[in-house]
Amino acid sequence: MSKTFAINAGSSSLKFQLYNMPEEEVIAKGLVERIGLNDGVFNIEYNDGEEFETTTNIPDHAKAVELLFDYLQEFNIIDDLNEIDGVGHRVVAGGEIFKESAVVTDEVIKQVDELGEFAPLHNPAEAVVMREFQKRVPNATMVAVFDTSFHTTMPEENYLYSLPYEYYEHFAARKYGAHGTSHNYVSRRAAEIVGKPIEDLKIITCHLGNGASITAVDGGKSVDTSMGFTPLAGVTMGTRTGDIDASLIPYLMEKLDIKDVKDMITIFNKKSGLLGISGVSSDMRDVEEAADEGNKRAQLALDIFVNRVQKYIGQYIAVMNGVDIIVFTAGIGENSARERRAILEGISWFGIELDEERNDTRKEAIITTDESKIMAINIPTNEEVEIAREVERLK
Ligand code: AMP
């Protein structure tokens, strides 16, 4: 039996999913949270409905991996570690080096670690996790799947900032984007749903989760995306600002008496977005609820979120000189009929006609009328299966 792990290590978390491949059957999945704290949480679901959770000291990612392997064996989810012949790791930053997924070698791990300059909270942790898996399943094919790879097809005019050109040449200062695995997966799925070759389609993919990004996919290739040098740019997110004027940085640092620019960036990353505007929560469900109860700032946060998504859709219609399909995915995109409606109704001039009944769904579905000039589709993303498929492809 061939088993493949899809691993998604964040700065303080590790998500895992274990598949039987090529059937794509999920055998176990779970999440380790609060890594680095002494009340870390380890959760695993297995055997179609059994679940185990424990709170324990998880000082680092190495311990998280150790717990994972201990419980896999304790719950008899796996008899023999040799059954695991594939491991796919999501990596946030691939820079300009990784234009596609790469089979992991010592050199690749070193490069992932060094790209920590672009994603200091993620890449070093991902490198640690890769080394831990190398120790435990040395014979498995390990593959690094980069969030940025899908966007390496962007043309220069879209990935370059209007900065002195040498900053790109010397320091690789440019737009890289993120969520590539998701944008890639849902755009190809959209083409399958409409039964047309992706080469013939212009698609705008809206990955709207706690982190959110929008991508223009022309003929199957990412030509522009809303996240930038880091995932801070683009639309309003749960806690991130999205686009702001860089001049606000010195201005606010002075007003707030902030000495270290990193502290300012932390505020832009962690205290802004829906949370910062509403003062209620970073979670869309909480913000919607507060708005319904009459909280004006919560309503304002919703309005700003919708407005930014609409602006990016408009931009990308211009970038591609047209669009055939708009895709919604991720937590908000997949689940919130209300936000999808607000976004699409406000840009109906382009020729988008929402079907209220079809939009009332959380499943894969076309949500526009048959007459609509532009089609909108709801597609639950599945980054994990995409990662497992990449391992299968490169085995
Ligand atoms: P993600 O990062 O993709 O897990 O998405 C998380 C976001 O999705 C959070 O802001 C959630 O509030 C939001 N979300 C999940 N379910 C719903 C729902 N039914 N309605 C509105 N937002 C939702």
pLDDT in tens, 343-380: 999 999 999 999 999 999 999 999 999 999 999 999 99
Other beta carbons within 10 Å of 83: 15
Average pLDDT across the chain, whole number: 96
Highest mean pLDDT, choosing among 10-24, 119-133, 241-255: 241-255
Ligand 1 atom 23, closest CA: 332
Ligand 1 atom 15, closest CA: 331
| Ligand 1 centroid to residue 330 C-alpha, Å | 7
Judge if the beta carbon of residue 31 lies within 6 A of ligand 1: no
- Give DSSP secondary structure letters for 374-388: SEEEE----HHHHHH
The closest of 203, 233, 227, 220 to 317, measured between CA atoms, is 203
Answer whether residue 148 shows pLDDT above 80. Answer: yes
Judge if the beta carbon of residue 303 lies within 6 A of ligand 1: no
Query: What pLDDT score does 85 carry?
Result: 94
- Give DSSP secondary structure letters for 57-83: EE-SHHHHHHHHHHHHHHTTS-S-GGG
Model confidence pLDDT, tens digit, residues 39-96: 999 999 998 889 999 999 999 999 999 999 999 999 999 989 999 999 999 999 999 9
Ligand 1 pocket test, pick from 31, 90, 305, 335 with the greatest ligand atom count within 8 Å of Cβ, gives 335
Model confidence pLDDT, tens digit, residues 278-288: 999 999 999 99
Query: What pLDDT score does 272 carry?
Result: 96
Judge if the beta carbon of residue 273 lies within 6 A of ligand 1: no
The closest of 199, 183, 229 to 326, measured between CA atoms, is 183
Cα gap 41→32, rounded to integer Å: 6
Q: Which tokens sit at 381?
A: 């993303």
Percent of the chain with pLDDT strictly greater than 70:
100
| Ligand 1 centroid to residue 283 C-alpha, Å | 7
Q: What pLDDT band is residue 12 in, cutting at 50, 70 and 90? A: confident
| Ligand 1 centroid to residue 334 C-alpha, Å | 8
Answer whether residue 15 shows pLDDT above 80. Answer: yes
Judge if the beta carbon of residue 40 lies within 6 A of ligand 1: no
Query: What pLDDT score does 37 carry?
Result: 84
Nearest ligand 1 atom to the CA of 208 is 3
Ligand 1 atom 8, closest CA: 331
Active site residues: 147
Answer whether residue 321 shows pLDDT above 90. Answer: yes
- Give DSSP secondary structure letters for 236-285: --SS---S--TTHHHHHHHHHT---HHHHHHHHHHS-HHHHHHSS-SSHH
Answer whether residue 14 shows pLDDT above 90. Answer: yes
Query: What pLDDT score does 329 carry?
Result: 97
